[in-house]
């Protein structure tokens, strides 16, 4: 694996802009109830990326629905009110903790049956710019409706129709467009036009104006079929015909057969002890669970005999960047869809392996990027929400169409945006995708395979009770957002508000020695790191939504820059 090669598919500013759009489903922080003082009262909480999903999720919980019911209803609402990431044309992961049992619903998109390894390469073997990111060829087979249906069959307590109805109403009757959304749509249209991308996004979304009602009637019809026919309302019958006819007309790849054979899967979450806690997190095809466990365990091992590092000091950022180099070297080599490649999960998070990996970490200088190899011997819009019900059940759900507004293509007649998730595959070994992530054989394109993801819905349990629910959008930076949120909450005892708003940072091996950081890191820390040799690059991180449970006292927060809303009630 040529891990040291320079990524040549990192497509510069336009994608940084697209990614930054995708980071924020955008947050107006409204805590309707302050923390109640009696820990015995079982509170419920939602931390959502917009106010519509927050209100509907709260409503479902107040009607007696459980956390999974609320999550399903919220997912459909987001498909209407958060078009940059909420979806029925994409996929995601739902981590469930219910009645003290955990489950992981994998509704990640699958590569179409006619896809193949070299589909994004030209005759010289070079990656064709943008083809896996914008336009009809960028989409994997959507998994969201199948995922919600599976979650409903396993855990739902309210009728399916009641869960889809709020989304249908918002699409049919319209919703008032948040000014941040209107602005984001305007910017996206301007970018598409500037780059000359010929997609139909504008035809569907140019009418979404700040503070005005925006109706989506084709989407409403699609949601009505899903409401009335369940899973079949998407993967069979009229919706399936509309999608496949559209694909044929536009020379896309998704066929009736692709839709019919799509499968959401229930997988065993990764569970690992860490300190006095149990970490419950995302297994492959997410890379995030393995990564956050490696990160947190190496951090503890290296700092165990020392004074606690100061939060966001140069020493703290450097140590976590050094660990990140190793985590991402492993990610690129070993991780892919577990239905296609054997992922050595147990080895990668074992204490022996972590100890061995920690040995080469340098505390005062930067390891040479090219020398950081995978360690085993043998060889910008996603959105996240967190929900906890009054019974202590919880859902951590991250969902995406990949970049903000996905492929930019709306299925004509069905009114929903298609994902551009195919870019999460490795189009060519060693060539970086839009998030700068490289990969090899484990993540090459194969029909029906799921592309490797960084989405990492996670929870931390203590004595069988959920003490923290976390997750974020942000491409590969998701992984850093999640482990940093765990350190913020449990190492630095922050409030939920601080957990989501303290500046985060990220290093992923490549680009070489680059630490991406969020505005707000102390300038003195930045110059210290620059003097060490780091290239410091400012950017936004994902719109994080967390819930903290301090022995019955619930604290929830949505990141301040977004348009999210958290409610404790
Ligand atoms: O699954 C993944 O890792 C990416 N498709 C996530 C994309 C994302 O977070 C974009 N938002 N900023």
Catalytic residue ranges: 382
Tell me what pLDDT residue 9 has: 41
The position carrying tokens 């009770």 is: 465
For 207-226, give one letter per residue: b (16+ CB within 10 A) or e: ebeeeeebebebbbbbbbbb
Q: Residue 330 and residue 347: Cα distance in Å, rounded? A: 11
Distance from C-alpha of 227 to C-alpha of 233, rounded to nearest angstrom: 7
CB 119 within 8 A of CB 86: no
Ligand 1 atom with the shortest distance to the CA of 288? 3
- 357 lies in the same domain as 245: no
Strand spans (E) along 419-486: 458-462, 465-470
Determine what percent of the chain is predicted with pLDDT higher than 90: 91
- pLDDT for 363 beyond 50: yes
- Say if ligand 1 is within 6 A of residue 393 CB: no
Distance 15 CA to ligand 1 centre (A): 13
424 CA closest ligand 1 atom index = 5
Read off the CATH number of the domain in which 59 is found. 3.60.20.40
Provide the mean pLDDT of the chain: 93
* CA separation for the pair 296, 274 (Å, rounded): 8
Domain presence at residue 180:
no
Helix and strand totals (H; E) in the chain: 18, 18
Does residue 402 sit in the same domain as residue 493?
A: yes
pLDDT of residue 28: 33
Q: Which two tokens stand for residue 224?
A: 């009505």
Residue 246: inside a domain: yes
Strands 514-517 and 535-538: parallel
Is 453's C-beta closer than 6 angstroms to any atom of ligand 1?
A: yes
Same domain flag for 359 and 248: no
Residues in binding site: 108, 400-402, 424, 453-454, 475
Burial 480-519 (b: 16+ CB within 10 A, else e): bbbbbbbbbbbbbebebbebbbbbbbbbbbbbbbbbbbbe
Q: What is the DSSP string of 371-429?
A: G-----S----EEEEEEE-TTS-EEEEEEE-SSTTTTS-B-TTT--BPP-GGGGS-SST
Is residue 562 domain-resident? yes
Q: Does 427 contact ligand 1 (Cβ within 6 A)? A: no
Considering the domain boundaries, does residue 184 fall inside one? Answer: no
Pair 344, 447 in one domain: no
Do 382 and 466 sit in the same domain of this protein?
Answer: yes
Say if 14 falls within a structural domain: no
DSSP helix/strand/coil, 497: helix
> Do both 106 and 132 map to the same domain?
yes
Q: Provide the pLDDT confidence category of residue 42 given band limits of 50, 70 and 90.
A: confident
Position 185 confidence tier, pLDDT thresholds 50, 70, 90: very high
Phi then psi dihedrals of residue 142, to 5 deg = -60, 145
Q: Is the CB of 473 under 6 A from ligand 1?
A: yes
Instruction: Find the mean pLDDT for residues 150-164.
Output: 98
Q: Which residues of 160-183 are buried (b: 16+ CB within 10 A; e: fewer)?
A: bebbbbbbbbbbbebbebbebbbe
Helix %, strand %, coil % for the chain, to 5?
40, 15, 45
State residue 342's pLDDT score. 97
Place of tokens 């551009």: 420
Whether residues 512 and 546 share a domain: the answer is: yes
Q: Ligand 1: which residue has its CA nearest to atom 12? A: 380
Domain final position from 371, 388, 415? 371
Atom of ligand 1 minimally distant from the CA of 403: 10
Tell me how far apart the alpha carbons of residues 569 and 557 are, in angstroms, rounded to a whole number: 13
One domain, residues 414 and 550: yes
**Annotated binding-site positions for L-glutamate:** 108, 400-402, 424, 453-454, 475
Strand 553-558 relative to strand 545-550, pairing: antiparallel
Task: List pLDDT tens digits, range 466-514.
Answer: 999 999 999 999 999 999 999 999 999 999 999 999 999 999 999 999 9
> Is the Cβ atom of 382 under 6 angstroms away from ligand 1?
yes
> How confident is the model over 517-558, as pLDDT tens digits?
999 999 999 999 999 999 999 999 999 999 999 988 999 999
Helix (H, G, I), strand (E, B) or coil at 162: helix
Query: Measured from the CB, is residue 437 less than 6 Å from ligand 1?
Result: no
Q: Give yes or no for residue 12 having a pLDDT over 90.
A: no
Report the alpha-carbon distance of residue 36 to residue 49 in Å, rounded: 23
- What pLDDT score does 381 carry? 78
Q: Between these two residues, 30 and 6, which has the higher pLDDT value? A: 30
Residue linked to tokens 């080599």: 333
Residue span of the structural domain in which 538 resides: 45-174+215-270+378-426+435-568
pLDDT at position 377, please? 67
At 5 the pLDDT is 29
Give residue 293 CA to ligand 1 midpoint distance, Å.
19
> Could you say which DSSP state residue 230 is in?
T
Whether the upstream peptide bond of residue 511 has omega within 30° of 0, thus cis, is: yes
Nearest Cα residue to atom 8 of ligand 1: 475
Say if 231 falls within a structural domain.
yes
Residues 314 and 458 in one domain: no
Question: What residue ranges in 457-541 does DSSP mark as E strands?
Answer: 458-462, 465-470, 505-506, 514-517, 535-538
400 Cβ below 6 A of ligand 1: yes
pLDDT at 552: 87
Residue that is written with structure tokens 């104006």 in the block = 209
7 DSSP assignment: P
Predicted confidence at residue 551, as pLDDT, reads: 84
Is residue 479 within 6 Å of ligand 1 at its C-beta? no
For residue 477, give the ligand 1 atom closest to its CA.
9
- Roughly what angle, to the nearest 10 degrees, separates helices 179-195 and 13-23? 160
Rounded to the nearest angstrom, the gap between the alpha carbon of residue 43 and the centroid of all alpha carbons in its chain is 26
Choose one of 454, 471, 477, 506 to mutate for the ligand 1 pocket test, by most ligand atoms within 8 angstroms of C-beta: 454
Judge whether residue 270 has pLDDT over 90. yes
- Whether 381 lines ligand 1, by a CB cut-off of 6 Å, is yes
Q: Is residue 112 part of a domain?
A: yes
Cis amide bond preceding 285, omega within 30: yes
Over residues 222-249, the pLDDT tens digits come to 999 999 999 999 999 999 999 999 999 9
CATH number at residue 288: 1.10.246.130
The H-assigned helical ranges of 82-216 are: 144-155, 160-173, 179-195, 201-205
Q: Looking at ligand 1, which atom is closest to the CA of residue 23? A: 12
User: What is the structure's pLDDT at 23?
Assistant: 52
Instruction: Give per-residue pLDDT as tens, 379-393.
Output: 467 999 999 999 999
Give the rounded percent of residues in the chain with a pLDDT score beyond 70. Answer: 92
How far apart, in whole angstroms, are the C-alpha atoms of residue 474 and residue 540? 9
d(CA 456, CA 232): 28
Q: Which of 28, 60, 36, 314 is nearest to 179 (CA)?
A: 28
Domains in the chain, number: 2
Residue nearest to atom 2 of ligand 1 (CA): 453
Please tell me whether residues 394 and 409 are part of one structural domain: yes
| 371, 388, 414 - which closes a domain | 371
pTM over 0.85: yes
107 C-alpha to center of ligand 1: Å?
14
CA of 411 to the centre of ligand 1 (A): 21
Residue ID of nearest Cα to ligand 1 atom 5: 402
Rounded Cα–Cα distance for residues 419 and 406 (Å): 4
Which domain-ending residue is among 335, 355, 371? 371
Looking at the domain assignment, is residue 18 inside a domain? no
CB 424 near ligand 1, within 6 Å: yes
Tell how far the Cα of 53 is from the centroid of ligand 1, in angstroms: 20
Q: Which phi and psi (to 5°) does residue 486 adopt?
A: -70, -40
Do 503 and 388 share a structural domain?
A: yes
Sheet of 91-98, strand order: 265-267, 101-106, 91-98, 394-400, 382-388, 45-48, 565-568
Report CA(115)–ligand 1 centroid distance (Å).
Answer: 21
Angle, CA 438 vertex, CA 124 and CA 337 arms, to 5° = 105
Are 129 and 264 part of one and the same domain? yes
Whether residue 429 is predicted with pLDDT greater than 50 in this model: the reply is yes
Top mutation candidate among 84, 108, 142, 400 for ligand 1, by most atoms within 8 Å of CB? 400
């Amino acid at each position: 694996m040529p891990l040291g090669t320079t990524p040549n598919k990192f497509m510069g500013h336009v994608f940084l802009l697209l990614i930054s759009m995708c980071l924020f489903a955008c947050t107006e922080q409204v805590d309707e109830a302050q923390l109640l003082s009696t820990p015995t009262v079982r509170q419920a909480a939602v931390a959502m990326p917009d106010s519509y999903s927050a209100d509907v999720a709260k409503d479902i919980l107040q009607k007696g629905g459980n956390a999974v019911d609320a999550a399903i209803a919220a997912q459909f609402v987001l498909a209407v009110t958060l078009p940059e990431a909420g979806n029925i044309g994409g996929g995601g992961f739902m981590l469930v903790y219910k009645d003290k049992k955990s489950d992981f619903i994998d509704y990640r998109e699958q590569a179409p049956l006619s896809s193949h390894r070299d589909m994004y390469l030209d005759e010289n073997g070079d990656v064709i710019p943008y083809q896996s990111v914008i336009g009809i060829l960028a989409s994997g087979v959507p998994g969201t409706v199948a995922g919600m249906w599976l979650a409903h069959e396993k855990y739902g307590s309210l009728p399916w129709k009641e869960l889809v109805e709020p989304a249908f109403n918002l699409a049919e009757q319209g919703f008032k467009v948040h000014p941040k959304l209107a602005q984001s749509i305007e910017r996206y249209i301007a970018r598409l036009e500037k780059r000359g991308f010929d997609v139909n996004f504008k035809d569907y979304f140019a009418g979404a104006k700040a503070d005005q009602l925006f109706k989506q009637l084709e989407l409403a019809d699609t949601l009505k079929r899903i409401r009335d026919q369940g899973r079949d309302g998407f993967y069979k019958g009229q919706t399936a015909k509309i999608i496949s006819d559209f694909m044929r007309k536009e020379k896309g790849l998704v066929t009736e057969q692709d839709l019919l054979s799509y499968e959401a899967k229930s997988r065993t979450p990764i569970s690992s002890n860490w300190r006095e806690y149990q970490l419950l997190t995302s297994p492959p095809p997410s890379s995030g669970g393995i990564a956050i466990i490696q990160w947190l365990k190496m951090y503890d091992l290296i700092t165990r005999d020392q004074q606690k590092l100061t939060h966001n000091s140069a020493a703290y950022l450097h140590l976590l960047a050094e660990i990140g180099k190793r985590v991402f070297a492993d990610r690129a080599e070993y991780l892919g869809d577990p239905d296609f490649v054997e992922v050595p999960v147990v080895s990668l998070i074992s204490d022996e392996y972590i100890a061995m990996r920690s040995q080469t970490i340098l505390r005062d200088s930067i390891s040479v990027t090219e020398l950081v190899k995978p360690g085993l011997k043998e060889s910008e819009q996603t959105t996240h929400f967190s929900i906890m019900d009054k019974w202590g059940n919880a859902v951590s759900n991250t969902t995406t169409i990949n970049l903000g507004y996905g492929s930019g293509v709306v299925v004509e007649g069905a009114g929903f945006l298609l994902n551009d998730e195919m870019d999460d595959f490795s189009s060519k070994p060693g060539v970086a995708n839009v998030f700068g992530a490289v990969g090899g054989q484990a993540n090459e394109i194969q029909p029906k395979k799921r592309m490797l993801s960084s989405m990492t819905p996670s929870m931390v349990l203590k004595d069988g009770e959920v003490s923290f629910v976390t997750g974020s959008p942000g491409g590969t930076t998701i992984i850093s957002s999640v482990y940093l949120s765990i350190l913020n909450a449990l190492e630095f005892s922050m409030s939920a508000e601080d957990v989501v708003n303290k500046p985060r940072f990220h290093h992923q091996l490549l680009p070489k020695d680059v630490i991406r950081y969020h505005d707000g890191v102390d300038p003195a820390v930045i110059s210290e790191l620059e003097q060490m040799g780091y290239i410091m690059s400012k950017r936004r991180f994902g719109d994080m939504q967390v819930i903290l449970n301090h022995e019955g006292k619930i604290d929830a927060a949505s990141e301040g820059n977004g348009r999210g809303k958290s409610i404790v009630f």
